[in-house]
Amino acid sequence: MLKRLKLSDLGLQDLQSLCKNCYAFCSSGVKASHCETVLNNHEPESETEWESLLKPFDLEKLRKSLNWISPNQLRKLLELPLDVSTSVKLFQWAGTQKGYCHSFDVYCALIDKLGAAGEFKVIDSLLLQMKEEQIVFKESLFILIMKYYGRAGLPGQATRLLLDMRSLFSCVPTFRSYNVVLDILVAGNCPKVAPNVFYEMLNKGAVDKALGFFEEMMREGLDPHIKSCNILINRLCRTGKVQNALDFLRDMIHRGLTPDIVTYNSLINGLCKMGHVREALDLFDKLQDEGISADAITYNTLISSQCKEGMLDDAYVLLSRGVGNGFIPNDVTWYILVRNFVKEGDEEW
């Protein structure tokens, strides 16, 4: 094992010789994956050897001793088992070279090491630095950071990064990013944070993925908030997936979640738009059996659909039934009825 070297013990020739050895490694054609395999198989003493070689150097003398270092060479150095402090100093020193620009791979190598050490504030600074340097972001970098947030028990920060990807860093997340964050949220028992990801998914039109996420949450014993469930059911119905919405409703009830009038209104509207008025009326009867009071949206949706299907008498009966239960028809109700009765030429109305 190499002894720890002191800067005072090194002459300029010794320093240059050592640097040449480092460059020989960095310039070699050995693949990074192979290097990682070899390094990972070493005992802890090997890490101390590299630290011993690089830690004692005064950066000013290091700058004078080394030839120009390329981003690829720096990346290979950063992949060595050096401590975080030494790695950051190497990164900063390389950035002072005239004409030098850090590459995406260099940033990725350093951020990987910082994430493993839990240095998330430094990672945030590097992301902003990448943005200032107009480096094109890749989704793989954000997924890497999200996973480190998950391992550190910081699901909220993983969610925040997901939301920042598009708005702050102009990197559009794919389902891979959503999958990583959703897995972190489920593992971290975070039903209150999950809706933020859920809303973002729905805004992207990822309805099926959102449904799968909620089903997974419930399988894990995590009960989502009724408001989030209502948003999902509404979006399912609006995209013509009413049966999926009905199945989800049954799962909700089985889990002990109580649907409200907003839940049923979305389902009734979805069924009516598909022409399934009879099924919508059955659902209307069900909500009343459960003691849920129908509102103007419920009655107007059903009455309008009955009129479109030529069920004018049934619409009148439903209105009378609603008034008997305390429903007060509004302007929309009367407009629907008058328009359709006039259209049918029913002078008696």
Question: What CA–CA distance (Å, rounded) separates 284 from 274?
Answer: 16
Residue with more model confidence, 164 or 59? 164
pLDDT at 67: 62
pLDDT at 128: 96
pLDDT of 287 strictly over 60:
yes
* Alpha carbon separation from 42 to 48, 114, 156 (Å, rounded): 11, 21, 36
Of 41-55, 64-78, 261-275, 276-290, the range with the lowest mean pLDDT is: 41-55
Closest to 322 in 3D by CA, of 287, 347, 349: 287
Say what percent of the chain tops pLDDT 90: 39
Q: Is 326 left (phi over 0), alpha (psi -120 to 50) or beta?
A: left
pLDDT of 306 strictly over 50:
yes
Of 118-132, 170-184, 213-227, 275-289, the range with the lowest mean pLDDT is: 213-227
Confidence tier at 154 by pLDDT (50, 70, 90): very high
Structure tokens at 249: 């409703």
pLDDT at 91: 93
CB 12 within 8 A of CB 59: no
CB 223 within 8 A of CB 195: no
- What number of other Cβ atoms are within 10 A of residue 311's Cβ? 19
Of 76-85, 225-234, 249-258, 271-280, the range with the lowest mean pLDDT is: 225-234
Q: Kindly report, residue by residue over 196-227, the tens digit of the pLDDT.
A: 666 666 666 667 767 776 776 666 665 666 77
| Spatial CB neighbours of 82, under 8 Å, sequence gap ≥ 6 | 47, 50, 51, 54, 90
pLDDT at 4: 30
Task: Name the strand (E) or helix (H) holding 270.
Answer: helix 261-273
- What number of other Cβ atoms are within 10 A of residue 256's Cβ? 7
pTM for the whole structure: 0.52
What's the rounded mean pLDDT across residues 159-177?
Answer: 87
Instruction: For tokens 């003398």, name the residue.
Output: 61
How far apart, in Å, do the first and last CA atoms of the chain sit? Answer: 101
- The domain limits of the chain are 1-36+43-100, 101-190, 282-349
Closest to 62 in 3D by CA, of 16, 11, 99, 102: 16
DSSP-assigned states of every residue in 21-63:
HHHHHHHS---HHHHHHHHHTS-HHHHHHHHHHHTT--HHHHH
Confidence tier at 186 by pLDDT (50, 70, 90): confident
Task: Name the strand (E) or helix (H) holding 281.
Answer: helix 277-289
What's the rounded mean pLDDT across residues 151-180?
Answer: 88
Confidence tier at 230 by pLDDT (50, 70, 90): confident
